[in-house]
Amino acid sequence: MPEADTEGARYQADKPQTAPGFFLKGSHQLDWGMKNRLARVFNPQSGRTVMLAVDHGYFQGPTTGLERIDLSIVPLLPNCDALFCTRGILRSVIPAESQKPMVLRASGGPSILKELSDEQIAMDMEDAVRLNAAGVGIQVFVGGEFETRSIHNMTRLVDAGLRCGMPVMGVTAVGTNMVRDARYFRLACRIIAELGAQYVKTYYVDDGFETVTASCPVPIVMAGGKKLPEIEALTMAYNAVQQGASGVDMGRNIFQSDAPKAMIQAVHAVVHQNMKPQHALDMFHSLKSQG
Ligand code: R5P
């Protein structure tokens, strides 16, 4: 017995095809592969991310807390949304079975012994694709000695990323003698976004951070910076997301904590659940005491 002819009804010709939007600021006109990679790093439900930054070795060597990434960082992988690391650490230490999105450090050159802005692109985009990266990151030294080269590095990386759908995170790298205020970060973040980075990593400032996020047309993730007492780091992360950041990319404030696993879970609650800093600190202490 042939099926009844329901073809006409099945086409639902009266309904326009769904046009899916995209949850990330300024990202709705990117290509599918780029969006898909971004949606692995940023949680589509909260629109935010907790990236764990452990790339420090690319210019600092074995930083405190990163002497043995296999022992200190691999156990934290289940608690981050993405890892920001070098390809050397990825290949040598991070288990390939991990399903966490990996954002790879793509710039380098000078060590802490030299002028840091004298960087080059330090990885082929082809290798990032080979490593199944979810993105790449690069320093941008606005106002630095090698400003033009640093910006040119980023624009070349963005061009390479666009060819294969790889998002680029531009990192505002501030020289030691430069003022870290909203005016500087507005300038640096806006330049990075205008020149094509898909998202920007920058520092929190107490005064005017909301103007930094408002004037940046793509998502901003807050950089952690030097180790602070836990309540201060949690407050900084809370303020940053309340003032428009799409999450954090924190390193030392997590892996140099007395209890890194407790700390990353507290940061996760602040970022994804808008948990207040004091409540998150209580959570930190409670998780810490449970070992
Ligand atoms: C800083 O600009 C670099 O990207 C890092 O090496 C790192 O990601 C910094 O993380 P944190 O300041 O949170 O330790």
CA 46 to ligand 1 centroid distance, Å: 23
What DSSP letter does each residue of 208-229 carry, written as one string? THHHHHHT-SS-EEEE--S---
Query: For residue 175, what pLDDT is reported?
Result: 80
**What is the predicted pLDDT for the residue at 43?**
98
Please, which pLDDT band fits residue 176 given cuts at 50, 70 and 90?
confident
Nearest CA to ligand 1 atom 10: 251
- Two structure tokens written together for 75: 């156990």
Q: Is the CB of 223 under 6 A from ligand 1?
A: yes
pLDDT bin (cut points 50, 70, 90) of residue 179 is confident
What sign does the CA torsion over 154, 69, 255, 176 have? negative
Predicted structure pTM score = 0.95
Q: How far apart are CA 18 and CA 12, in angstroms?
A: 12
Residues 216-242 as b/e (b if ≥16 CB within 10 A, e otherwise) read: bebbbbbbbbebbebeebbbbbbbbbe
The reported pLDDT for the residue numbered 4 is 65
- HSE-CB for 63 with a 13 A CA cutoff: 21
For residue range 204-238, list pLDDT tens digits in order. Answer: 999 999 999 999 999 999 999 999 999 999 999 99
pLDDT of residue 5: 63
pLDDT single digits (tens) 32-65:
999 999 999 999 999 999 999 999 999 999 999 9
Residue 105 has what pLDDT? 98
The pLDDT score that the predictor gives to residue 211 is: 98
Residue 226 alpha carbon to ligand 1 centre in Å = 9
Q: Cα(56) to centroid of ligand 1, in Å?
A: 6
Which residue puts its alpha carbon closest to atom 12 of ligand 1?
Answer: 225
201 is catalytic: yes
pLDDT of residue 39: 98
Mind listing the pLDDT tens digit for each residue in 155-172? 999 999 999 999 999 999
Q: Is 187 exposed, middle or buried (0-12, 13-18, 19+ CB in 10 A)?
A: middle
Q: Which two tokens stand for residue 291?
A: 């070992």
CA 216 to chain centre: 15
Tell me the pLDDT tens digit for each residue of 60-106: 999 999 999 999 999 999 999 999 999 999 999 999 999 999 999 99
